[in-house]
Amino acid sequence: MTIIKSFFSLLLLAALIVGSGFTYWAVQPISQTITPQDFSIKPGSGVRSSARQIRDAGIPVDPILFEILARVRGKANKLKAGTFELDANESPFDLLNKIVNGEFSYASLVIIEGWTFRQMRTAIDAHPSIRHDTSDISERELINKINPSYQYGEGLFFPDTYLFAKGSSDLQIYQQSHQSMLKHLDEAWKGRNTTLPYRSIYEALTMASIIEKETGQSNERSMIAAVFVNRLKIGMLLQTDPTVIYGMGEQYKGNIRKRDLSTDTPYNTYTRVGLPPTPIALPGLASISAAMNPANSGVLYFVAKGDGSSQFSDNLTEHNRAVNKYQR
């Protein structure tokens, strides 16, 4: 009996030692010098597979012990799929909680005001932290996935800085940016000047994109908007170079020639009255606001003064004087 008691005592002591050692391991930093390191867990992964993926990503944590920790804590079936980041001084226990709580590693993407949709797609396709699910499909197919009400992507996405979990689908970024644009556009449309000549909110978006590309100084947006709105009201040609450039596409090499201005395209506002068929860029909030509420002015012309600002005129005589002064 004494031998049996001694045996069980030894077993209990061994269990205590193992348990203490395991507990010590679970709360000690995985590494005190490691720089933040990303790792991913694939959707549908069990606890054993997840532990191996963590190890295979270069995280110095024993997968068997990590699996045991997850099971002992009752969290083996609660691990989230996604991309995470191991920080210095984090313990296996900290890491387990991070995965269970879905504390994903985040990245950001900046979409610049005035970019074309093509530039936006290029930036998204090149981003290393985005899962590229749509890079091989056409623009029409992509837009159909986001909002079948539209055929073209130009202007439909709001330029901003977007924060997202690493490994997120590019489709998620497009959807978020598009919904943001619709929200801002709808709010501005509700507060618009009711005398505007736009036949739809899409035409207002198109005007905002022109204002975005024509503005040299931010405080001139409302005056530039007034010029183009006034021209629309009287059926005057918009004659704006950015639309011509957009219509030229890859043929544009940095300069607009006289023949470019006379070559008819759907976007040549020197040959066609009214707005082009689509926006020509991604307008920011300030340009959207200007398009909806232009300055209360009768201006019809403007010319660059050479310092980034513009000289505005109500009539052609004044405009020609300004051209002679600042351009010739």
Phi-psi category of residue 235: left, alpha or beta, with phi > 0 → left and psi -120 to 50 → alpha: left
Mean pLDDT value across residues 30-58:
85
Q: Give dist(CA 274, CA 223) in Å, integer.
A: 18
Predicted local distance difference test score (pLDDT) of residue 254:
82
Tokens 């030692």 belong to residue: 17
d(CA 36, CA 90): 10
Q: Decide if pLDDT at 259 tops 60.
A: yes
Q: Which overall architecture, per CATH, does domain 19-100 show?
A: 2-Layer Sandwich (3.30)
Where does residue 128 rank: exposed (0-12), middle (13-18), buried (19+ CB within 10 A)? exposed
Question: What pLDDT was estimated at residue 309?
Answer: 87
Which tokens belong to 148? Answer: 């079948």
Give pLDDT tens digits for 194-248. Answer: 999 999 999 999 999 999 999 988 899 999 999 999 999 999 999 999 999 999 9
pLDDT computed for residue 33 by the predictor: 63
- Across the chain, the runs of DSSP E, i.e. the strands, are 37-41, 82-86, 106-110, 130-131, 161-165, 168-169, 301-304, 310-313
The pLDDT of residue 11: 56
Burial label for 2, CB within 10 Å (0-12, 13-18, 19+), is: exposed
pLDDT level of residue 24 (50, 70, 90 thresholds): confident
Sequence ranges of the domains in the chain: 19-100, 106-186, 192-326
Q: What is the pLDDT of residue 139?
A: 95
Let me know: does 155 contact 117? Beta carbons within 8 Å. Answer: yes
What percentage of residues in the chain have a pLDDT greater than 70? 92
Could you read off the pLDDT of 77-99 as tens digits, one per residue?
999 998 888 888 888 888 898 89
pLDDT value, residue 238 = 97
Question: What number is the average pLDDT over the span 16-42?
Answer: 73
Q: Residue range 284-305: average pLDDT? A: 94
- Residue 192 is inside which H or E element, if any? none
Which of 79, 50, 77 shows the shortest CA–CA distance to 63? 50
Give exposure, 203-226, as e/b (b: 16+ Cβ within 10 Å).
Answer: bbbbbbbbbbbbbeeeebbbbbbb
